[in-house]
Amino acid sequence: MRLIILEDAGVVADWAARFVLQRITEFAPGPGRHFVLGLPTGGTPLGMYRRLIDFYKEGRLSFKYVTTFNMDEYVGLPRDHPESYHYYMWNEFFKHVDIEPGNAHVLDGNAADLVAECRRFEDLIAQAGGVHLFIGGIGPDGHIAFNEPGSSLVSRTRVKTLAYDTLEANKRFFGHDISKVPRQALTVGVGTVMDAKEVMILITGVHKALALSRAVEEGVNHMWTVSAFQQHPQALFICDEDATLELRVKTVKYFKALSDEHQKMIAEVPVAAQRVLH
């Protein structure tokens, strides 16, 4: 596990986007050889998407041979509702780049058979050959995607009932009316994300500080589902200074001392070499 501590949310966004750029470029996707990307929604990755759009516009990056899988979607929310993740992905990312519609997969929270929809999603990931890089954010309670505290750490894509904390936190997006927040969501499981070859978790802000400390300093615990990635062979936690406030000084110092090494990850060092050099 690597913990990359950067100045602020803007630098985190830029770093994450550069990392995606490096990984896709290194992979050199083409016809019949797609790079497979797992994608999150929410406030934290927004800056990363904007940088990726810049890279696309500058001609440095193409998504023509990139296949994407989104982590989650609310159940029963119309696709064009401004809070739906379809809406988010279309407006914040897809419509700005050259990704092909058939390669952008978002769970359908309005499917008649939600169980079948979850199975279909897992099958699609398998058909794509698995995810090369899964990007995620976390909630203040340490959930990744909608894997709320208490979720199985080997879970797969499924229907999940949302925790009260999540409804409470999200009601601000639904006119401050908790009754309007969808109660259920479709989400990839912790196990689904664990299967990815590489995982990058973005964590910014003081309100995520406790979750970050539980994720990296305590043991693997299903009450802080993101902690499962301690056992992932290639997991990156990218955070800003604010998010480190609950960490031990020793932890922060150790990872900060590695920052030169970390910078190499977004330079043109082959991925294989990066995996050995820690």
Partner 1 sequence: MKAKSGLTRFHNCHILRDSAIIKEDLWIRDGKIENPEQVFYVEQLEADETVNCEGLLIAPGFIDIQINGGWGIDFSYDCENVEEGVQKVAKKLLTQGVTSFCPTMVTSDKEKYKKILPRIKKTQGGHHGATVLGVHLEGPFISLAKKGAHMDEYIKTLDKGIKTIYEIYGSLDNAVIVTLAPELPGATEAIKELSKLGIKVALGHSTASLAQGEEAINSGANLITHLFNAMLPFHHRDPGLVGLLASSTNKQVYYGIISDGLHTHPAALRIACRTNPKGLVLVSDAVAAQGLADGNYHIGPQKVTVEGGKAYVSRTKTLCGSTAVLDECVRTFKEATGFHTST
Which one of the listed residues 117, 122, 148, 195 is annotated catalytic?
A: 148
Stretch that binds partner 1, among 93-101, 168-176, 178-186, 266-274 (CB under 8 A): 93-101
Does 95 help bind partner 1 (rule: CB under 8 A)? yes
72 annotated active-site: yes
Does 34 help bind partner 1 (rule: CB under 8 A)? no
Q: Can you tell me which of 94, 224, 229, 237 binds partner 1, judged by CB under 8 A?
A: 94
Does 31 help bind partner 1 (rule: CB under 8 A)? no
Does 229 help bind partner 1 (rule: CB under 8 A)? no
Alpha-carbon span 100 to 104, nearest angstrom? 7
143 annotated active-site: yes
CB of 165 to partner 1, least distance (A): 30
Does 90 help bind partner 1 (rule: CB under 8 A)? yes
Q: Kindly report the backbone phi and psi dihedral angles of residue 262, in degrees, each rounded to the nearest multiple of 5, phi listed first.
A: -65, -35
Q: Can you tell me which of 31, 59, 102, 219 binds partner 1, judged by CB under 8 A?
A: 102
Does 80 help bind partner 1 (rule: CB under 8 A)? yes
CB of 95 to partner 1, least distance (A): 7
Does 71 help bind partner 1 (rule: CB under 8 A)? no
Alpha-carbon span 165 to 156, nearest angstrom? 22
Alpha-carbon span 214 to 229, nearest angstrom? 12
Alpha-carbon span 222 to 144, nearest angstrom? 11
What is the three-class DSSP state of 77? coil
Residue 139's nearest CA partner among 209, 208, 215 is 208
Evaluate whether 220 touches 231 at the Cβ level (below 8 Å): yes
Which one of the listed residues 117, 141, 198, 240 is annotated catalytic?
A: 141
Alpha-carbon span 79 to 109, nearest angstrom? 8
Q: Can you tell me which of 101, 127, 176, 257 binds partner 1, judged by CB under 8 A?
A: 101
What is the three-class DSSP state of 158? strand
Does 104 help bind partner 1 (rule: CB under 8 A)? yes
Does 59 help bind partner 1 (rule: CB under 8 A)? no
- The half-sphere exposure of 28 on its side-chain side, counting CA atoms within 13 A, is 3
Q: Name all contacts of 98-104 with Cβ < 8 Å and 24+ positions apart.
A: 98/56, 98/62, 98/63, 98/64, 99/63, 99/64, 99/66, 99/68, 100/64, 103/34, 103/66, 103/67, 103/68, 104/67, 104/68
Q: Can you tell me which of 61, 71, 106, 202 binds partner 1, judged by CB under 8 A?
A: 106
Q: Can you tell me which of 18, 86, 160, 222 binds partner 1, judged by CB under 8 A?
A: 86
Buried b (16+ CB within 10 A) or exposed e, 18-48: bbbbbbbeebebeeeebbbbbbbbeebbbbb
Q: Write the interaction track for partner 1 spanning residues 183-222; mark x where CB under 8 A is met and - where it is not.
A: ----------------------------------------
Active site residues: 72, 141, 143, 148
- Which residues here bind partner 1, judged by CB under 8 A? 79-80, 86-87, 90-91, 94-95, 100-102, 104, 106
